[in-house]
Structure 1
């Protein structure tokens, strides 16, 4: 039985190792992507003044004729910065300007998702979550996660120490030849973080299939019915809409603002309450009509259990749900997966050089 497990673990690892290493590397780089990208843009933190941010939006529309407002999003780093997103005249793409809390533009010229640091991190995100393959990629990611968990379980079965040998197993040894040293390190490091790694990967599998799980659990979409809302003329400004939303959740921070459209004649104010498991972009929503009246709200902390479960999968996978220590653990687990993969390949090469399969 042990010989079968050894072969299964070895060949499953060799088949999937390149894919798992890419997932681990992109995951490590994405843990602190918001802070890293924001740190690359100079400028002191300013108190948030949404009236000033609204004036920055108006100036950008004036300086870019034909461009139309799309949305505004917090940078996500906690530095009181926002991205003002405008659509190009042909509607083919959108670009953004990053501003501080006082409405001061921090980046010269529009930044698209296909340029600079934004492009780098957006590419990593698409690779990590979809492999650039959309829904098919999500299913491949989920399947690879299940295979990885299975492989870790097989490895634990083989590496589990005998009674009274736990401390020795957890401490790498440098005795013996190269293969013996590599095996000792591979086993010890594997035992250190195998269980938290399996949990984090399992949350990643769930996050990849969040839409499908939500459908199975009967999770319904939010938002007012457009047919029941009449657009007011003239429409209120975004600062007035934000002022209508914030008193409902006084401790919340602004995550994003969606502007009224013909199909959806309301502002969508996205907030993040302190108790929400996500760090950057909250799930609290307030829909404000163009006449300034609140049409509907969504409090994720009071949502049905099924919805709370599906929305917990992403922050649990990234570690955000468990605070700074959780994010740090996610980063370390990514490094752990990289190390385990590299050690495993090195062990196979050393074995192969000795003429063993």
Structure 2
């Protein structure tokens, strides 16, 4: 294809998806430091007071459910560091979601309510499904495809025959609109490989979920003692692993234990019944073939250690800047084209 065609593809997709790309960039940047961000934004609701006896998972689930009558706990995340809280996801019979944070020291419910009572959880739901279920996930998948195409088309349009370094130079003495154009070009080229990686891994994460026809978790009012007994049995399969989260689905709980020996996001998984507890299955992370367990650490930057999230934060902010500067450049070019017409009419 010719350079003008690559430019047209890049421009049309950029203008069409700019708002979505900006939203994905900003929510993604926030999610790179999900726990610390939640505690920074809402210290009263997401930070333990560390004052009182330590409560078990079953008691945390029971207190979350009591704080939101008519709702049942479907998932419970364990505190991941000192000062963190239990975080419960709940749902009612009509499918409405609610959330609660519970202090692991003493069991006080620190915050309970809808999605916007928990800004970082809201960012996750926007980033992953635009708060619109599978329809929102489809839009996010299209957004990832658009970003992938834009990164490739931008590179193809820019690619010089020689003098690569010179083709990336920004001449700061030019008019502001030309400086903006060159800055947009250079930032896009430098970030292109990372944007392709993020778009590709994002697609690999969302497409399996989008095509998954599994039914929603069955709601039950699981007693605290039943949860703790089943959790204790699950722990016996992985005695040295720390609890990450558990899901309650009818008469069983699906328990995930952190498996850092594989990677930062990997989990050992045990499925245990609640009534007359017995282990249905226990799968070590090394034997779990779930695609997300390989792809998510790459998408979140954890695959290269502590520098990864910081690097992706820079990439996300670059994408946000590109999403804003692209429409500004289009508007400036349109204004330039209108000027001769106005002069002719005058």
TM-score with structure 2 setting the length: 0.77
Q: Tell me if 1:248 matches 2:237.
A: yes
Say which SS state the counterpart of residue 339 (structure 1) adopts. Answer: helix
- Counterpart in 1 of 2:196? 198
Given the alignment, which residue of 328, 334, 337 partners 1:346?
A: 328
After superposing the two structures, state which structure 1 stretch, 193-202 or 179-188, moved more: 179-188
Change (3 A) 1:76 1:213: farther
TM-score with structure 1 setting the length: 0.74
Q: Tell me if 1:96 matches 2:100.
A: yes
- Cα shift at 1:18: 2.4
- Counterpart in 2 of 1:41? 43
- Counterpart in 2 of 1:4? 5
Say which SS state the counterpart of residue 281 (structure 2) adopts. Answer: strand
Change (3 A) 1:99 1:188: same
Unaligned runs of at least 5 residues, structure 2: 216-222, 340-346
Change (3 A) 1:11 1:61: closer
Unaligned runs of at least 5 residues, structure 1: 222-233
Is the Cα contact below 8 Å between 1:88 and 1:95 reproduced in 2?
A: no
- Cα shift at 1:292: 4.8
User: What is the Cα-based RMSD across aligned positions, in Å?
Assistant: 3.9
- Cα shift at 1:249: 2.3
Map 1:181-330 onto structure 2 (within 5 A): 181-211=179-209, 237-258=226-247, 263-264=250-251, 266-279=252-265, 282=267, 284-287=269-272, 290-304=275-289, 307=290, 309-330=291-312
- Counterpart in 1 of 2:319? 337
How far apart in 2 are the matches of 1:311 and 1:92? Answer: 28
- Cα shift at 1:69: 5.8
How far apart in 1 are the matches of 2:176 and 2:125? Answer: 39
- Counterpart in 2 of 1:178? 176
Change (3 A) 1:115 1:248: same
Deviation track 1:307-342 (CA, whole Å, cap 9, x = no partner) reads 3x2443344323344433222233222111111122
Deviation track 1:245-265 (CA, whole Å, cap 9, x = no partner) reads 334324422122345x7x42x
Say which SS state the counterpart of residue 355 (structure 1) adopts. Answer: helix
Say which SS state the counterpart of residue 209 (structure 1) adopts. Answer: helix
How far apart in 2 are the matches of 1:315 and 1:285? Answer: 21
- Cα shift at 1:135: 1.8
How far apart in 2 are the matches of 1:6 and 1:86? Answer: 47
